[in-house]
C-alpha cells in the first residue's frame, strides 16, 4: 500500500517533476507568461526569466512550451546540462530542433542552413521560438556572441528567431559578458517566492489535480508549510510530499502541525520540532 491509496489519491500530488498538469497559474506566473508572449508575438528577440533555486522556472518553461500554438509558433526546448558547450554545437542543435539534419561542420554553412530554415518558417507565417532552460550554465562570451549574431537575422516584421532564457539570477550577469546582447533583452522577469495565500491555493490545486476529495491537510499545517518553505515551490512540494508519507506511516488521515514539525526536522530544514 502507498500513501496515494491511504489518502484516496490517484497519484502523488507533490513530486518535483515538471508535469504541466500540476502547473498553477499564480498572479506572478500569469504576468510572466503574458510578458513572454508579448515579446514573442512581436518578434522582439530575447526574453530572460530568472529566479532562485526551486522558484518554478523549469515548470514555467514546460508550460510555456506546451501553450505555444503550433499554428503560429515553431517552438523547441534546449536544456543546458553543462557549461562546456561551443557555439558550433549550439548551431547544430538549433538545426536539429528545427528539423534540419546536416553533415556540415563549418560554421559558415551551418549559419546559411539555419538562416534559410528561419526564412522559410517566417514565410509560412510562423514564429520560431527556442526556450533555453538552465541558461545560467552558459558561461562563455563566445556563446552569447553567437546568440547576438543570430538575433541579427531579421526582416521588417522583427527577428527571424526568438529566444527565451530561463536561469538562476546569475544569468543576467553572465549575459553582460556581451554587453550588446544585454542591451537587446526585450523582456526580463524575475520569479519571487509565493506569498501565503498563493501557497495555500497552490497546495490545494495540486491536491485537486491528484484527485483529493477530502481534506488532507489542516489549515494550520498548510500555514506551517508556508512558514518553513518561504513560499518556494520546490520546498513546498518536498515538505508536503514527505508529510504525506509521514502521515501514512503514522496512520493519520489528516496532516496536522505535529506531522509538519517532524517532517521538517527529518528534512534538516530545522534542528528540532517546536
What DSSP line would sit under 3-68, residue for residue?
Answer: HHHHTT-SS-S---S--GGG----HHHHHHHHHHHHHHHTT--EEEEEE-TTSSHHHHHHHHHHHS
Q: Which three cell numbers stand for residue 252?
A: 493519520
Q: What is the pLDDT of residues 16-68, one digit of tens each?
A: 999 999 999 999 999 999 999 999 999 999 999 999 999 999 999 999 999 99
Q: Which CATH class is domain 196-266?
A: mainly alpha
Q: Over 60: is that where the pLDDT of 274 sits?
A: no
Retrieve residue 182's grid coordinates.
Answer: 544585454
Tell me the per-residue pLDDT of 117-170, one tens digit each, with 9 for 90 and over. 999 999 999 999 999 999 999 999 999 999 999 999 999 999 999 999 999 999
pLDDT band at 273 (very low <50, low <70, confident <90, very high): low
Q: How many CB atoms lie within 10 A of CB 251?
A: 7
pLDDT band at 84 (very low <50, low <70, confident <90, very high): confident
> Domain residue spans in the chain?
27-191, 196-266
Name the pTM for this structure.
0.93
- Average of per-residue pLDDT across 229-234: 97
Record: fold of 27-191: Rossmann fold (3.40.50)
Longest dimension (CA), the chain: 65
The answer to whether 27-191 and 196-266 have equal CATH topology is: no
Residue pLDDT, tens place only, 179-214: 999 999 999 999 999 999 999 999 999 999 999 999
Amino acid at each position: 500500500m502507498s500513501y496515494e491509496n491511504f489518502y484516496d489519491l490517484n497519484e502523488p500530488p507533490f513530486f518535483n517533476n515538471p508535469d504541466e498538469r500540476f502547473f498553477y497559474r499564480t498572479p506572478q506566473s500569469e504576468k510572466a507568461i503574458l510578458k513572454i508572449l508579448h515579446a514573442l508575438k512581436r518578434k522582439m528577440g530575447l526574453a530572460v526569466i530568472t529566479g532562485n533555486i526551486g522558484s518554478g522556472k523549469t515548470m514555467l518553461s514546460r508550460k510555456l512550451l506546451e501553450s505555444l500554438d503550433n499554428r503560429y509558433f515553431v517552438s523547441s526546448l534546449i536544456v543546458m546540462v553543462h557549461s562546456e558547450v561551443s557555439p558550433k554545437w549550439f548551431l547544430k542543435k538549433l538545426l536539429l530542433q528545427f528539423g534540419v539534419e546536416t553533415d556540415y561542420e563549418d560554421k559558415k554553412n551551418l549559419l546559411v542552413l539555419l538562416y534559410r530554415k528561419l526564412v522559410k518558417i517566417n514565410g509560412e507565417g510562423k514564429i520560431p521560438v527556442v526556450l533555453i532552460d538552465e541558461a545560467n550554465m552558459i558561461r562563455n562570451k563566445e556563446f552569447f556572441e553567437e546568440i547576438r549574431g543570430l538575433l541579427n537575422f531579421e526582416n521588417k516584421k522583427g527577428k527571424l528567431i526568438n529566444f527565451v532564457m530561463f536561469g538562476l539570477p546569475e544569468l543576467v550577469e553572465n549575459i553582460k559578458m556581451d554587453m550588446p546582447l544585454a542591451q537587446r533583452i526585450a523582456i526580463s522577469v524575475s520569479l519571487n517566492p509565493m506569498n501565503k495565500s498563493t501557497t495555500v491555493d497552490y497546495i490545494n490545486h495540486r491536491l485537486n489535480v491528484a484527485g483529493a476529495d477530502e481534506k488532507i491537510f489542516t489549515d494550520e499545517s498548510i500555514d506551517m508549510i508556508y512558514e518553513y518553505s518561504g513560499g518556494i515551490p520546490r520546498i513546498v512540494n518536498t515538505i508536503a510530499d514527505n508529510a504525506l508519507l509521514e502521515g501514512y506511516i503514522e496512520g493519520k488521515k489528516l496532516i496536522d502541525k505535529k506531522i509538519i514539525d517532524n517532517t521538517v526536522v527529518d528534512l534538516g530544514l530545522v534542528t528540532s520540532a517546536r
